[in-house]
Amino acid sequence: MTKAAASNVFPFPAPRVDDYPTYLPLQPQPIGSLLDADEYKQNQNPPKLFEEMEIRGVKFPNKAWVAPMCQYSADNGHPTDHHFVHYGSMAMRGWGSIMVEATGYVPEGRITPECLGIWDDAHIPDYTRIVNYVHGLKGIIGIQLAHAGRKGSTPAPFVEGQFVEKGWKGGSTIPAENGGWPTSVPAPSAISFKGGDYPDPIEASVEYLESLKKAFVDAIERCEKIGFDFIEIHGAHGYFIHEFTDPISNKRTDAYGGSFENRIRLPLELAKIAREKWSKPLFYRVSASDWLEEDLGPEKRANATEGEDEWAWWGIEQTTLFTQKLADLGVDLIDVSSGGNDLRQKIKLGPGYQLHFADHIKKHTENILVGTVGLITTPHQANDILEENKADVVFFARQVLRDIDFPLEAALELGVAASPAVQYQHAWTRMVVKRNAEEVNHKTSKEHGVDAVQGQEGHKKEVHANGNGHANGHVNKRAPPPEVHTSVP
């Protein structure tokens, strides 16, 4: 055999991520970040959804962020292969930020026996594996630290649903023999979320709260060792911290109950601890309203009697005051959701149904970023929210699970060129087009054996009245979301 001619030799090794335990192709830039505007002229005046954001030295490549979503797939608190694939898949698709779901910093802080935990050093390696992979892809990943409170020791929704379908009409409390902790469910007051169904909680003692703060510090130190980019404190959806802030669930008579100042004492203490121990971005998720106007009238009582709390339930007025106090402590972003603490809630569902809360907070607080979430399902809807300055970032939850490629699809629909994962780049030739040099892109695709029109890449989009696809090779726009959504937030 003769030696190959020098002109046939490709002398460059495949770029790889240094110090990663297996071969992982090196991404030239963060997935989902805009390509060089000098080459891709369409990126010179980008939509706000694709603007980079920097918080305390952490650079988020765009403003389409993944909200925390419980997976109920952990093994005694440990992340499993499901979590590695779940979060790793998101990292390959260009989301500007990924957040690990509600994670208990004490065992009884989990919702279900299958929820994630971070109460033990033994949990560190499993999270580190996930974080290292996301970082290997140049992605950003954080974690939500949570305590379920009176909603703990209950079954995963899909587990309960299976038995309800088979005729189960009993309660929703997991017994000890199935991994639950029914006699050790703490809450601010001994008030069940759903009497006769959910656990009967015990009132958390001041001693317990002190031990909880120590566990919280330990969890933050584990987050540092793991390498998370940010932490979010879960103070929403009727879980422990929300239960403390809310007069519906907090009937204490000590320093942690009664007045507004007392009810917000614990979350402010935890936020202060986190800010002192954690130098990177710190977020806080809040339920902005109990949605109880129809049942209980105004959030603030007009004629409170002596000794009576002037607030009837937790709503946007208290949330706004509380948010400013979080900002003053150095919390960087308020993640605005709603509901979850009272079964009488009447949520007015529809596209962007929680946006007005975020907009209100943004207009009435200072020195804190605002994130919004809730039935935000299209690129233009998300971008309009940012362009109209109603929020600073957009969180996506169920839309991530329905359409994991949403960030790159959004780039295509909004007319910009974002960086796909190198392994998937041929799926995005229709987006990664130099507006003044389409022939170069077409030539490169052909040389690698992938024609630009394969896989519906080159077909003209059509919009059909019914929003359904057809077997004609056309790419159809998704139908708009319904005016009223029937799912539970």
Q: What residues are annotated to the active site? A: 239
Rounded distance, CA 269 to CA 275, Å?
10
Total residues found in the chain within this entry: 489
The kind and range of the H/E element at 87 are: helix 81-91
* Dihedral, 213, 218, 224, 230 alpha carbons, nearest 10: -30
Q: Is-contact 73 117, C-beta < 8 A? A: no
Per the rule left: phi > 0, alpha: psi between -120 and 50, beta: everything else, 455 is left
Rounded distance, CA 304 to CA 281, Å?
39
- Cα 362–288–112 angle (5° rounding)? 130
Q: Which of 49, 157, 124, 91 is nearest to 400 (CA)?
A: 91
Pairing type for strands 58-60 and 53-55 reads: antiparallel
Q: Is-contact 361 320, C-beta < 8 A? A: yes
The contacts of residue 2 (CB under 8 Å, 6+ apart) are none
